[in-house]
Amino acid sequence: MINGIKKCISTSMAVAWFIILSVVIQSPVLSWLNEEYLNVGKDAQGNLFRIILFISLALVSLYLMMKFAKRLDISWKQSQFDTDRKGNALLYKYTAITLLLTLIYILVLYIGNGYNVGTVPKPIVEMQERPVIFILYLCTAVITQPILEELLFRGILQEKLSRYSIWGGLIMASILFSYSHDYQTIFNSHLVSSLIYGLAYAKLNNIKAPIILHILQNSLVIAFVALFR
pLDDT in tens, 89-115: 889 999 999 999 999 989 988 888 878
Q: What is the pTM of this model?
A: 0.91
Are 89 and 180 in contact by the 8 Å Cβ rule? The answer is no
Share of the chain above pLDDT 70, in %: 93
| Total number of domains constituting the chain | 1
pLDDT in tens, 150-188: 999 999 999 999 999 999 999 999 999 998 887 555 567
pLDDT > 90? residue 194: yes
Give the integer Cα–Cα distance in Å for 159 and 149. Answer: 13
Cα-based distances in Å from 1 to 10, 11, 32, 131, 184: 14, 15, 50, 59, 39
Domain span including residue 69: 2-228
Q: Supply the pLDDT for residue 88.
A: 83
pLDDT in tens, 180-190: 887 555 567 78
CB burial of 166-200 (b: ≥16 within 10 Å; e: otherwise) equals: eeebbbbbbbbbbbbeeeeeeeeebbbbbbbbbbb
